[in-house]
Amino acid sequence: MPHALITGITGQDGLYLGELLLDKGYEVFGLVRGQSNPKVAMVEKTLPGIRLLAGDLTDLPSLIGAVEVAQPDEVYNLGAISFVGLSWRQAELTGETTGIGVLRMLEAIRIATSDEMSRVRFYQASSSEMFGKVRETPQRETTAFHPRSPYGVAKTFGHYITVNYRESYGAHAVSGILFNHESPRRGTEFVTRKITRGVARIALGAQEKIALGNLDARRDWGFAGDYVDAMWRMLQRDTPEDYVIATGETHSVRDLLDAAFGHVGIADWSPYVVQDPRFLRPAEVDVLVGDASKARDLLDWRPAVDFRTLVAMMVDADLAAARGELDREPVPTRGHTVPPG
Ligand code: NDP
Ligand code: GDR
């Protein structure tokens, strides 16, 4: 039975990847930080059989300990401060976790394997945010980086240190340059889930408005379940290489509003959306769209869920969640008819 160690197991991708690997018969170990992490119960419920280990990407000894206990064949480094907006307010911590944390995880493998790093296959969660102010469209593996946030800068360090350990120590290390991927498990601070949750609550009369920043930003949004499958495929190849994972389509935040409000029968969302300068960023990434043809050709990977299906899936999940919340704490309903279910 192969062993996998996942950092960031409590996050969106950690949960989907954990499910995928347990289904494939892996013994899965997840790194959890903090002395009483409130997400542990949810992870244990979602991933029966998971073995959780205490550790933190800012603490090398705990990472060495996790590798020694898990004896992993594969390590997926998904842990990070992942919210771009927060990265300006906590830039140093973002650098420590999202950037230097990658170096620490690689060092932990190097130390725990007594310099035989290639025994462990390593996946680094790199990001399209590294492209930032884009030099080429669509972005591919060879496109130059110009990160626009402390998060993007930290991810760029993590990306290059992964390449460097491959070149310096023969590590079987790959970076997946993943474009935005979303799901009902997405944190509510990210724009997709903020919108789908807001739309569901507005449709049920539990919320009046959604406050947003830049509505013109464009992203290449895919489904997280499809993207964790690409991570696994990357580590099954005998040659470690980096891959862009994307849908190849770009949509604006306005398109997202059209799709989400449209799903609950609201054609004109303007009365429900306010622009709030607090959600504007000091430096913005205006438009991203990826070219995943290398992954298609070498990994036989393709996204299965398209933009509209993704948005509908998220709105439906948020409608169900909001109905549950309202059942527990009745709020007078008013407003629009919503799809059944
Ligand atoms: P989430 O924000 O949902 O999850 C982040 C995870 O990192 C959480 O489990 C969190 O734990 C953990 N974490 C935070 N700080 C530390 C720390 N100091 N030590 C150990 N773990 C820590 O992110 P996603 O699941 O969406 O993304 C997974 C990875 O992929 C991240 O690295 C992200 O930057 C990257 N990425 C994501 C993309 C996306 O669109 N989703 C696109 C490209 C890259 P806790 O619950 O305790 O806070
Ligand atoms: P992003 O995702 O920064 O691309 O990073 P996010 O959903 O936060 O923002 C996407 C775009 O929407 C604009 N926007 C808003 N964003 C948020 N969060 N809240 C708002 O109110 C709002 N209004 C407009 C943003 O300005 C931005 O242009 C995500 C994260 O998962 C990273 O970890 C990952 O690396 C990248 O995707 C790829």
Predicted ipTM? Answer: 0.99
Q: Please report the pLDDT score of residue 340 as a whole number.
A: 40
Q: Which ligand is nearest to the CA of 285?
A: 2
Q: What is the rounded distance in angstroms from the CA atom of residue 6 to the CA atom of residue 2?
A: 13
CA 111 – ligand 2 centroid, Å: 36
Domain co-membership, 144 together with 203: no
How far apart CA 309 and CA 102 sit, in angstroms, is 34
Q: What is the mean pLDDT of residues 65-92?
A: 98
Return the CATH number at 282. 3.90.25.10
Tokens of 335: 């407003």
pLDDT confidence of residue 331: 53
pLDDT band with cut points at 50, 70 and 90 for residue 31: very high
Instruction: Classify residue 298: in a domain, yes or no.
Output: no
Which residue's alpha carbon is nearest to atom 14 within ligand 1?
80
Q: Which ligand is nearest to the CA of 98?
A: 1
Q: Is the CB of 104 under 6 A from ligand 2?
A: no
What pLDDT does residue 303 have? 98
Which residue CA neighbors atom 26 of ligand 1 most closely? 12
Q: Helices 191-203 and 307-328 meet at what angle, rounded to 10?
A: 50
Do residues 9 and 28 both lie within one domain? yes
Percentage of the chain modeled with pLDDT above 90 = 94
Q: Of 181, 183, 180, 174, which is closest to residue 294 (Cα–Cα)?
A: 174
> Does the active-site annotation cover 156?
yes
Model-level pTM?
0.96
DSSP labels, 172-205? EEEEEEEPPEE-TTS-TTSHHHHHHHHHHHHHTT
The boundaries of the domain holding residue 161 are 3-182+222-245
Residues 209 and 140 in one domain: no
Q: Is the pLDDT of residue 338 over 50?
A: no
What's the confidence (pLDDT) of residue 326?
87
Q: Are residues 207 and 81 in the same domain?
A: no
- Ligand 1 pocket, residue 192 CB under 6 Å: no
What integer best gives the mean pLDDT of the chain?
Answer: 96
Question: How far is residue 43's CA from residue 9's CA, in Å, rounded to a whole number?
Answer: 8
Number of domain units in the chain: 2
pLDDT at 335 over 60: no
Give pLDDT, residue 332: 52
**213 shares its domain with 227:** no
Is the C-beta atom of 56 inside 6 A of ligand 1? yes
Residue 328: pLDDT band (50, 70, 90) is confident
Tell how far the Cα of 212 is from the centroid of ligand 2, in angstroms.
11
Same domain, 60 and 155: yes
